[in-house]
Structure 1
Amino acid sequence: METTKRPGWDTLGLMVLLVLGIIALAAIPLSGASDSLVFVTITGFSQLVFATLALGFAVRTARLKTLTPRVRRAWLLMLPSYALWPVTIVLYGIFPGQEFPSPPDVLRLLIPPATLIGILSFARIPAAPAERAKLRLDAGLVGVGSAMVLWYLMVSPALADSSVGWRELVPSVIHPLTGAALLFGIGVVLMRGPQAAASRRPLLAIVAATLLILTGDAVRAYTLNSGGPVIPTVLQSSLWTGGVFVLMLAPYVQAWYARRPEASRSGTDLRATPRPPRWPYLTVLPGYALLLITVGIRDPFPAGGLIVGALIVSTLAFARQMVSAQESRRLAVTDGLTGLANRVQLYEALPRALARAGRNGTRVGVLIIDMNGFKQVNDTLGHQAGDQLLIGFGELLRRCVLGSDLVARLGGDEFTVVLPDISDEVQAQAVIRRIRAAMAEPIDVGPTMVQPNASIGMAISAPGELAMDELLHRADLAMYETKNSRNAVRP
């Protein structure tokens, strides 16, 4: 009974948290001037309550046995960031208005690197060195583009003001650096996604909270550098409070989804080749815009035209790089002859299908298909005819499966089909019957028509099975049994 009631209570708790957050954020602009006691009390109390609840939820989530070990480890690495928030808020109440380096200011500087470590622990990092290098370059582009904006808003005004002392200058420099590093980590996460699908929404909540807090930091620094009030404004306090509130929701949502296996179901197309993200290259646009505003407008001839030309050239270079990256990715996971998936894509897609089947209580079917008589076609009609036979047979297999299934060429005349999220072997047998029926039609190989024939082996994953190699091995053995029986008694 507990497992059936628990999700209902979790949903009710989430609704209560959302209502509390809306009330707190609505109360901030209604509580009077930013220097009033009511405003300071409501803002500080709301942030402390949210930060304390966030720490409690994070500790609970890190201990959930229903999460995978890698996800639990990621939440353990997030705990220092969550623990620093309530301590820092309390210290700001004990040491109000003190200059840098006050105890809360120092602790506040530790939050970004702690958050960066936690965020990166969620990300799915590619195994190939070249892919890791491209990921670092793309994420570095995000960090540099964001740093240009932070330089304009936070660092440059502080350096230009000769009256600014080291107590104001040091945090004005350190905060943008740590902010740019955090944005680098956010870029990695958004481009690669989380290790586990169940962590996608909680991780997006952490990213959103971090962006709200960084925006609040940037607004406050710009306000101070422009001669504004030292006391945080309504906008700054709302951004910070909203950030801490969303940070609190992330571990709660993770636990909420952990008890809902149906929430992790998805109809992901195993054949899809992920496109390289385009948005990282857009992060340089704010930097160019600021450069055009500060330099180009004052000196349009020749500086303005040169800046616009540099922007156009950079845009074309980025577009060219995106086309190359997408083509490289396609070639890396696609068989060059048939256009089917290759072993690389198979070994990426099959573990994901097994993991999703384990969460959803379904199974994965694997067919190993070996063509019969292919060597004779090569020997008698030539390799070009053999290639045409392989291409035609690959198209035959594509026509016999659903859009979410994966058809791959293992090499030579051997193919495989992955059938995700099936209930039993009856569905796999139906695919085999479609393939055998399709082989009744000959394939045009150029000089003549060839009747395709193949031996098919089938294996169905056991409930919760995650061993990809074992599943492929069983399908391979079943294929050889079919081939041997065909050779013993020919139809």
Structure 2
Amino acid sequence: MMLTWFRTGRASAVCVLVCAVLLLVQQAWYFGGWGGPEVVTLISDAAYVPQALVFTVLAARVAGSGRQDPRTRRAWLVITMAFGCQLAAHIAWFTQSHVVHSTSYPSTADYCFLLFSPFMFAGLLMLPGQHRRRRDRQKLALDALIVGAGGFIAIWYLLLGPILNAPGLTMWQRAVTAALPIGDLLLVLATSTAMLRRHQRDTPAPIRLLAGSIALTVTADVSYSWIQLNGGFTGGSWPDLLWLAGCFLLVLAADQQYRRPRHPEPRRRDRSAVFLLPYAASIAAYVLLAVQSSDLPLNPYGGMIFGSAVLTLLVMVRQSHALRDNRELAVTDGLTGLGNRILVTERLAQLARQPIRPGRHTAILLVDLDRFKPINDTFGHEAGDAVLIAAADAMRGVIRDGDLAARLGSDEFAVVLQGLPTREAAGSAAARLLEALRMPVIFGEHVLMVEASIGVALRESRDASGDTLLQQADTALYAAKRAGRARFEYYSDVMDTKAREAELRRAVAQDELVVFFQPIVALATGELKAFEALVRWNHPVRGLLGPGEFIDLAEETGAVVPLGAWVLRAACREAAGWRAGLPGAEPLRLTVNLSPKQVAQADLVTVVEAILTETGFPPDRLTLEITESVVLQPDPLTIGRLQALRDLGIHLAVDDFGTGYSALSYLRRLPVTVLKIDRSFVTGIADDAEARSVCEAVVHLGEAFKLHVVAEGIETAEQAAALLDMGCTTGQGFHFHRPLPPPEAGDLVRRQLGAPGPAALTDRNA
């Protein structure tokens, strides 16, 4: 029941607050000296029990929580056992001091305190850490042993040596007294190991709190043992201040571990104060050795000890320089001397943890040298290296102190700018970089001209990670290259192909698309013959978008396949409704576009047949338009799929004929029945003899292949008359009708075909 109550966040917060109040009350009572030594002792000993109860229950909550990974739960199960020993020890100490008034040593409380150390030692070592190579594990062991050796020297000097020589102790008392500092030494080893093995991420708050608690506890234990050796310990002494503070840190550690997410975001750091532990332990050991040997003769002991200390110190300094050199090698590009990808990743991770402040913008510029590969291929890699070195020098001359320029690989560079006053400052920096990189590079007798394209991404979201910024800058970089190179582009959401693809697929799923219908008419009379289905996107933010805004993206990402199926189904359903409500609409034809990716789908025929069955639209009144890219290189499978569609009665049209590289021989092999003349051939036929001749040749070509010819893009009466003179009888364009939304298309059908009334049309979807 108690553990269930502790699972609530409010309950644990109340418990932490109560423990904090208890700690403050005990400290105030101690320093105030109220009530005399007996009252201070009673309050100090009583304050331990609720704190120990709280941190034991909170630790058990962590061990049984599904929010933690299995390794963490196992480690905290052992830590809970250690906390349970603490709880038992504090209850026993309070009982023997204030209930039975026992003064025996060692007591039950002493044994429970001793059990705390091995359980805590095992639990700390079981905590999961960063995966390491064998060599890294050996280095970690050496660092931990250095800390342990320094701690051993201090404990030997302060406790173990005096304990072995203390008079008046039985063998068992001497062993128990020595066991406490030895247990503390194990805790120092385990704590340093737990902290040192997290070199690639921030040490988690629970481990830092555990380390703080153990540091206070070890200090208090050493003080307790010293007092025991020199007159006997009584409750309410100053070590209680440290023990109680350590207990409160255990409460915080258990609470923070429970709140910690199962998969926290890793954070990289350059260095950490934790790495100073081996050096601090070595220095402390020599200080104690110097104090202990201060009364020894200078010759020979003093000089030897002094020389050993100086020698060790010099080795530490030399090692620190070696570590710094290794660090620079690890984050520096060997050719240009700039930073490398590792340094960029670390810098961006640091910046990602900082809050976004007005007037302090962060930007990353991704720089790619234009036409670098031809230089490498033509003049060799030495010329390419000369260009890269010159580009690096140019970047150094542009960026400010504190900014970072790095080479990511090949001819790609990154520049990290921080503390920019405005967004536009990033563009100004990119423009200066473009100008600096627009330079001649002298290589032997050759002058190599270099330019660059730059993508700019600004950190405008608190949640944007370093990897996200790099991806955004990369997207902007390729946008700059597509726009003509030698320029820079800011990243915007419109460039994000993955996000736009997901948005487009979501639009299909949520019925944000709508089909418009453009009438196809008889040129002589204007009589309605067919409708071409044209898709529009009713975007919730950007309004109604034409196909030019998203069809290319759909083709590029493959989203055009489900989109095309949706358009065919929606158009057939609408046209079937007209046929059902208007007896005169039965001859009306429907034309729908097929993308090349749809034609390449193995299940195309099955999908089309299923849609026709579902909507009830007759296949012999459907025309599917394919592009010239399908006509140009039709493989046997494609021809087979198209023939299967023709066998269903569906007509096939070649759309935008003449705009690509059509192979006329394929028109004979493919089962097409309609040829649509592109609008580019229609423009100008009314007043340009050459344009008229070309268009007339295309019309006669369609007739030669026994294809029905339809003209697109008719905008004037003169164009319609000229096409009619050439023998083209059917067409579409703004001169007759613009694309119409479904209600207006239905009204046109009723007017043209003499429908009985709107009620019949209204019932078509019943």
TM-score, normalisation: structure 1:
0.73
Tell me whether 1:454 sits opposite 2:452 in the alignment.
yes
Q: Distance in 2 between matches of 1:157 and 1:271?
A: 43
List aligned pairs for 1:316-335, cutoff 5 A.
316-335=314-333
Counterpart in the other structure of 1:156: 161
Write the letter of the residue equivalent to 2:218.
Answer: L
Cα distance per residue 1:298-323 (max 9 Å; x no partner): 32221112111111111111111111
Kindly indicate whether residue 435 of structure 2 is the aligned counterpart of residue 440 of structure 1: yes
* Rounded Cα–Cα distance in structure 2 between residues aligned with 1:82 and 1:453: 66
Rg bigger for which structure?
A: 2
Structure 1 residues 14 and 482: CA distance shift in structure 2, 3 A: same
- The worse-fitting range, judged by mean Cα deviation, of 10-19 and 312-321 is 10-19
Q: Deviations over 1:369-388 (max 9, x none)?
A: 43223344456777555435
Counterpart of 2:117 in structure 1 is 112
Task: Work out whether residues 123 and 194 of structure 1, in 8 Å CA contact, stay in contact via their aligned partners in 2.
Answer: no
- In the alignment, which residue of structure 2 is the partner of 1:292? 290
Q: Judge conservation of contact 1:198–1:257 (CA < 8 Å) in 2.
A: no
Is residue 275 of structure 2 the alignment partner of residue 277 of structure 1? yes
1:183 matched to which residue of 2? Answer: 188
133 and 397 in structure 1: CA distance in 2 versus 1, 3 angstrom threshold = farther
In 2, are the aligned partners of 1:406 and 1:418 still within 8 Å (CA)?
yes
Aligned amino acid, residue 42 of structure 1: I
Q: How many Å separate the matches in 1 of 2:88 and 2:300?
A: 53
SS in 1 for 2:46: helix
Aligned match of 1:172: 177
CA RMSD across the alignment: 5.1
The one of 198, 210, 214 equivalent to 1:210 is 214
Q: Which residue of 2 aligns with 1:142?
A: 147
Aligned residue for 1:306? 304
* AA aligned opposite 1:236: P
2:70 and 2:395 map into 1 onto residues whose CA distance is 38
Q: Structure 1 421/244 Cα, relative in aligned 2: closer, same or farther at 3 Å?
A: farther
Match for 1:159: what amino acid?
L
Displacement of 1:330 in angstroms is 2.3
Change (3 A) 1:170 1:379: same
CA deviation map 1:342-399 (0-9, x unaligned):
3445566667777x59999xx9987654322334445677755543532443465678
Helix, strand or coil for the counterpart of 1:453? strand
Q: Is the 8 A contact 1:371 1:452 kept in 2?
A: yes
The AA in structure 2 aligned to 1:110 is L
Matching residue of 2:242 = 239
Q: 1:42 to 1:9 in 2, by over 3 A?
A: closer
1:234 is paired with a residue whose SS is coil
Amino acid at match of 1:234: S
**Secondary structure class of the residue paired with 2:293:** helix
Comparing 391-400 with 156-165, which one deviates more in the overlay? 391-400
Structure possessing the higher relative contact order (Cα contacts under 8 Å, 6 or more residues apart): 1
Match for residue 22 of structure 2? 20
Cα deviation 1:35-65 (Å, max 9, x = unaligned): x3x3442122111122223334445667889
SS state at 2:132 partner = coil
Looking at structure 2, the residues matched to 195 and 65 of structure 1 have their Cα atoms a distance apart, in angstroms, of: 26
Question: What is the alpha-carbon distance in structure 2 between the residues aligned to residue 452 and residue 273 of structure 1?
Answer: 38
User: Greater shift after overlay, 63-72 or 137-146?
Assistant: 63-72
Distance in 2 separating the partners of 1:68 and 1:349: 29
Secondary structure, in 3 states, of the residue corresponding to 1:440?
Answer: helix
The answer (yes or no) to whether the contact 1:358–1:464 under 8 Å persists in 2 is no
Letter in 2 for 1:299: P
- In structure 2, C-alpha distance between the alignment counterparts of 1:347 and 1:295, rounded to whole Å: 50
Q: Which runs of structure 2 are paired with 1:34-433 in the superposition (5 Å)?
A: 36=38, 38-58=39-59, 78-94=79-95, 96-100=102-106, 102-119=107-124, 125=130, 127-161=132-166, 163-188=168-193, 191=196, 199-200=204-205, 202-225=206-229, 227-232=230-235, 234-252=237-255, 277-345=275-343, 356=353, 369-378=367-376, 386-394=384-392, 408-416=406-414, 431=426
SS at match of 2:163: helix
The separation in 1 between residues aligned to 2:9 and 2:427, in whole angstroms, is 40
Answer with 64-73 or 405-414: which moved more: 64-73
Aligned-residue offset at 1:90: 1.3
Deviation at 1:293, TM superposition (A): 3.1
Asked if structure 2 preserves the Cα contact closer than 8 Å seen for 1:124 and 1:194, the reply is no
* Offset of residue 197 of structure 1: 5.2
| CA–CA distance in structure 1, aligned partners of residues 51 and 111 of structure 2 | 21
Paired with 2:429 and 2:72, the residues of 1 have a C-alpha distance of 40
TM-score, length-scaled by structure 2: 0.49
- Partners of 1:386 and 1:445 within 8 A in 2: no
* Matched letter for residue 314 of structure 1: T
- Of residues 312-321 and 58-67 in structure 1, the stretch that sits farther from structure 2 once superposed is 58-67
Q: What is the Cα deviation at residue 284 of structure 1?
A: 2.1
Deviation digits for residues 405-463 of structure 1, max 9, x if unmatched?
Answer: 865433222334678999xxx96x97467435411224575659865433456789999
Identity over aligned residues, as a percent? 28
> How far did 1:193 drift?
5.5
1:3 aligned residue: none
Q: Give the distance between the partners of 2:12 and 2:398, measured in 1 at CA.
A: 43
Q: Quick one: distance in 1 between partners of 2:61 and 2:418?
A: 33
Post-superposition offset of 1:158: 1.5
Deviations 1:170-193 (A, max 9, x none): 233332333223223333455565
Q: Deviations over 1:238-272 (max 9, x none)?
A: 222222133323445667898xxxxx99xx9x895
Give the letter for the 1:334 counterpart: T
Q: Distance in 1 between matches of 2:356 and 2:68?
A: 11
Task: Output the amino acid matched with 1:243.
Answer: G
Distance (whole Å) between structure 2 residues aligned to residue 485 and residue 347 of structure 1 = 28
Contact 2:386–2:443 at 8 Å: present in 1 too?
A: no
Residue 261 of structure 1 corresponds to none
Q: CA deviation at 1:82?
A: 3.3
Is 1:388–1:444's contact at 8 Å kept on the other side of the alignment? no
Q: Deviations over 1:59-108 (max 9, x none)?
A: 566788998999888766643443332222113334554444x5433332
Q: Indicate the SS of the match to 2:336.
A: coil
> 2:19–2:50: 8 Å Cα contact kept in structure 1?
no
2:189 partner amino acid: F
Which 5+ residue runs of structure 1 have no aligned equivalent? 1-5, 259-263
Alignment check: 8 A CA contact 1:365 1:420 kept = yes
C-alpha contact (below 8 Å) 2:426/2:456 kept by paired residues: no
* Preserved CA contact (<8 Å) 2:30 2:236: no
- Flag the 1:103–1:183 CA change in 2: closer, same or farther, 3 A: same
Change (3 A) 1:372 1:218: same
**Distance in 1 of aligned mates of 2:81 and 2:402:** 41
Q: Are 1:71 and 1:196, in contact at CA under 8 Å, matched by a contact in 2?
A: no
Instruction: Tell me if the contact between 1:153 and 1:221 (Cα under 8 Å) persists in the aligned partners.
Output: no
User: What CA distance in whole angstroms lies between the structure 2 residues aligned with 1:83 and 1:478?
Assistant: 58
Q: Tell me, in whole angstroms, the C-alpha distance in 2 between the residues paired with 1:297 and 1:220.
A: 27
Q: Is the 8 A contact 2:160 2:178 kept in 1?
A: yes
Per-residue deviation, 1:145: 0.7
Q: Bigger CA drift: 12-21 or 51-60? A: 12-21
Cα contact 2:440–2:450 (8 A) shared by 1: no
